[in-house]
């Protein structure tokens, strides 16, 4: 038994110091291959559709618009969906955009093929081309709306906007306080200057008269009118409310 235990200890020690064998790490190559293959098919179909639209309209930018309504936004929405910071709402937006992109590739591709095949038949090819162009414009515009929506509902963007608003409020408040301090300082200097002039010429009444003649002290109290803020009294407010309501403020019921 003692020898067996000794052998077991040696085996355990050997297993502890033995270099572990190399094991193949798992990978997702097959998963990535699936999405690459799907996107490759979508790209080929969209390129064919874009070329067909260009051939029908003789306008290269309509062919580019086909890509902007189909494969390019599809690929963009795939990246937006797999974004690490994407919220649940943003993932829903990305799925909607991807579905619209797939529908655009399918519908525009089928419509372009039908028009190409039956271009000499008795169908209104011009009207069909107009429908395709209008559809491309609307789909591309819808993709732009989705991307803008995705951007503005992002939590990071909203947090940045709230921070910027808080900073703006603080800056505005500071500017108002600085303006108030400036006004108070100028007012205090004006009052001190008035007292200085009155003491110098020993005639406050003469200074008040000059100010009155200049229209700066109409109530003749020695304080310039622009330094006085007229205040409404409670009685004045009550009278105006009663007059507005049709009641006579001089005859109140007890």
- Which residues span the domain enclosing 59? 29-153
pLDDT of residue 119: 64
- Let me know whether 90 and 122 are in one domain: yes
Q: Which of 143, 142, 140 is nearest to 53 (CA)?
A: 140
Is there a single domain that holds both residue 76 and residue 142? yes
81's tokens = 């969906």
Q: Residue 33 has which token pair?
A: 């291959």
Q: pLDDT digit string (tens) for 133-155?
A: 888 888 888 999 999 898 888 88
Percentages helix, strand, coil for the chain (3-state, rounded to 5) are: 75, 0, 25
Residue whose C-alpha is closest to residue 139's, from 40, 54, 65: 65
Query: Nearest-CA neighbor of 74 among 66, 86, 63, 84?
Result: 66
Is residue 139 domain-shared with residue 179, that is, in the same domain? no
Task: Output the tens digit of pLDDT for each of the chain's 254 residues.
Answer: 455 565 566 666 666 666 666 666 667 788 888 888 988 998 998 898 888 888 877 888 888 888 888 899 999 999 999 888 888 888 999 999 999 999 988 888 888 777 777 765 545 667 777 788 888 888 888 999 999 898 888 888 888 888 888 889 889 998 989 888 888 888 888 788 878 777 777 777 777 777 777 766 666 555 666 555 555 544 555 455 455 555 554 544 43
The per-residue pLDDT for 184 is: 87
Q: Cα torsion for 212, 216, 220, 222, to the nearest 10°?
A: -120
CA distances from 201 to 187, 193, 197, 198, 208 (A): 21, 12, 6, 5, 12
The total domain count for the chain is 2
Q: pLDDT digits over 187-231, tens only?
A: 888 788 878 777 777 777 777 777 777 766 666 555 666 555 555
Does some domain include residue 1?
A: no
Of 133, 153, 173, the last residue of a domain is: 153
Q: Is the domain of 146 the same as that of 33?
A: yes
Identify whether the C-beta of residue 69 lies closer than 8 Å to the C-beta of residue 136.
yes
Residue 65 burial (10 A CB sphere; 0-12, 13-18, 19+): buried
């Amino acid at each position: 038994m003692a020898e067996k235990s000794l052998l077991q200890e040696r085996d355990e020690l050997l297993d502890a110091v033995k270099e572990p064998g190399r094991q193949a790490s798992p990978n997702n190559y097959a998963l990535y291959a699936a999405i690459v293959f799907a996107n490759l098919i979508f790209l080929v179909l969209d390129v064919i559709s874009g070329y067909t639209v260009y051939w029908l309209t003789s306008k290269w930018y309509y062919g580019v618009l086909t890509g902007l309504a189909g494969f390019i936004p599809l690929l963009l929405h795939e990246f937006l969906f797999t974004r690490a910071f994407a919220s649940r709402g943003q993932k829903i937006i990305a799925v909607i955009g991807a579905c619209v992109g797939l529908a655009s590739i399918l519908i525009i591709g089928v419509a372009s093929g039908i028009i190409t095949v039956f271009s000499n038949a008795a169908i209104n090819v011009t009207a069909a081309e107009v429908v395709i162009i209008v559809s491309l414009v609307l789909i591309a515009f819808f993709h732009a709306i989705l991307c803008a929506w995705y951007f503005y509902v992002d939590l990071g963007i909203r947090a940045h906007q709230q921070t910027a608003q808080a900073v703006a409020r603080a800056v505005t408040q500071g500017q108002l306080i600085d303006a108030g301090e400036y006004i108070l300082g100028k007012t205090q200097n004006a009052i001190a200057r008035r007292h200085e002039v009155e003491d110098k010429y020993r005639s406050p009444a003469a200074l008040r008269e000059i100010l009155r003649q200049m229209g700066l002290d109409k109530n003749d109290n020695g304080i310039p009118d622009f330094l006085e803020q007229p205040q409404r009294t409670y009685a004045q407010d009550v009278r105006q409310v009663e007059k507005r309501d049709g009641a006579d403020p001089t005859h109140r019921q007890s």
